[in-house]
């Protein structure tokens, strides 16, 4: 299947684990519909030894001397848009788990209006500096209720899209992981995995796409079985209904000297079906 008719997306986080991986190190299959790198993470915390929240004033936590605006531009030049070429995009992710493992990153606005105002301005500056194509939301810890989170993130993304039409947006659902726990038993089949993702897409994210997740940082976990691309049996389980695959992370693959084997296999699967 050519990239011109393939809407499946491959996405991978990069930067959070401070490795020396380059954006150009990861293979890009020309027949994948879309390829997204996600710089990780933009955080609204100070960077000192006792990090404190900054109420929506975001700054990059990735190595800005390694993952630079010039590096992003170079990656895009290497993979320009065109017929039968995957849409190569670079985004940023907001939140994450921790500040260099020194403190958890909490969603903790002082108030809704000031957080949104600060977040829009600070993230717009990063997006413009790096010429980024989208924003991913990956908060994992919260000091407010779901209603406040929903309002703040909804307003943030709406205002960012107004400033940059066509901005790609995504979210890594995290707060309700218990709902998926029952399917991750030892006897879970890959068919069950696909049905779960399809059900989530149909019931909870109408109009969007729910992507399967693979973790190259924790070999042996269900999301990353060896020796195949986990779940390895996805290729046998209605792969035409799998809209894409989300990887954590390019840093982990680089640090473990895996040669990006799993990334290549996942993209081949998405390209073939």
Cis peptide before 201 (omega within 30 of 0): no
Taking alpha carbons only, the member of 12, 5, 7 closest to residue 170 is: 12
Tell me the CA distances in angstroms from 214 to 192, 232, 268, one per residue in order.
16, 11, 15
The catalytically annotated residue of 12, 70, 140, 159 is 140
Q: Do strands 59-60 and 34-43 pair parallel, antiparallel, or not at all (unpaired)?
A: antiparallel
Alpha carbon distance 118, 133 (integer Å) = 20
Determine how β-strand 34-43 pairs with β-strand 9-14. parallel
Pairing state between β 106-107 and 59-60 = unpaired
Residues 233 and 190: beta-carbon distance below 8 Å: yes
Max CA distance (Å), the chain: 50
140 in active site: yes
Which active-site residues does the annotation give? Answer: 140
């Amino acid at each position: 299947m050519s990239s011109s008719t393939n809407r499946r997306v491959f996405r991978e986080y990069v930067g959070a684990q401070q490795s020396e991986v380059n954006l150009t190190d990861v293979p890009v299959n020309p027949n994948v519909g879309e390829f997204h790198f996600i710089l990780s993470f933009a955080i609204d915390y100070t960077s000192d030894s006792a990090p404190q929240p900054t109420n929506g004033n975001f700054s990059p936590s990735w190595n800005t001397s390694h993952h630079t605006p010039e590096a992003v531009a170079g990656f895009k030049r290497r993979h320009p848009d065109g017929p039968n070429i995957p849409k190569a995009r670079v985004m940023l992710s907001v939140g994450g788990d921790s500040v260099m493992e020194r403190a958890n990153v909490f969603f903790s606005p002082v108030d809704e209006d000031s957080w949104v105002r600060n977040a829009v301005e600070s993230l717009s500056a990063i997006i413009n500096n790096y010429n980024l194509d989208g924003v991913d939301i990956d908060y994992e810890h919260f000091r407010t209720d779901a209603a406040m989170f929903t309002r703040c993130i909804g307003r943030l993304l709406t205002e960012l899209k107004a400033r940059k039409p066509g901005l790609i947006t995504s979210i890594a659902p995290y707060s309700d992981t218990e709902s998926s726990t029952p399917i991750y038993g030892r006897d879970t089949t890959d068919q069950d995995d696909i049905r779960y993702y399809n059900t989530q897409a149909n019931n909870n994210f109408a109009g969007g796409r729910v992507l399967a997740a693979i973790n190259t940082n924790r070999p042996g976990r269900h999301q990353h079985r060896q020796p195949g691309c986990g779940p390895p049996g996805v290729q046998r389980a209605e792969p035409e209904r799998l809209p894409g695959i989300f990887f954590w992370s390019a840093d982990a693959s680089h640090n473990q000297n895996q040669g990006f084997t799993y990334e290549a296999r996942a993209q081949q699967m998405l390209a073939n079906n």
